[in-house]
Amino acid sequence: MTAHPLGVEVSCDGPDDQTDCPDSAAVRASFGSMTAPQVRADGRRDGWTSRRSLGRLRDVCPACRASAPSV
């Protein structure tokens, strides 16, 4: 039997640091996307954003981005 990596999932971190994504959204990765940067690039095509917050990368779906408080 041979094991193959399945890639990574990038899920929404919610509209803010205290609130989870109400839809539990995840990026729909294209077939060839196997790394987190590749999956994030797929998400940007669908309106996702990524930003640094508290030393880590936060991925936000379009719905949560629209409801996120202004900084």
Residues 31-42: tens digit of each pLDDT = 889 899 999 999
Integer Cα distance of 28 and 47 in angstroms: 11
In the chain, how many domains are there? Answer: 1
Residue 70 lies in a domain: no
Is residue 33 a part of any domain in this protein?
A: yes
In a domain, 27, yes or no: yes
Name the 3-class secondary structure at 60.
strand
List pLDDT tens digits, range 13-64: 999 888 999 999 999 888 889 899 999 999 999 999 998 888 888 999 999 9
Residue 71, in any domain of the structure = no
pTM over 0.75: yes
Q: What is the Cα gyration radius of the chain?
A: 13
**CB atoms inside a 10 Å sphere around CB 56:** 7
Two tokens, residue 44: 């940007």
Q: Domain limits at 53?
A: 1-65
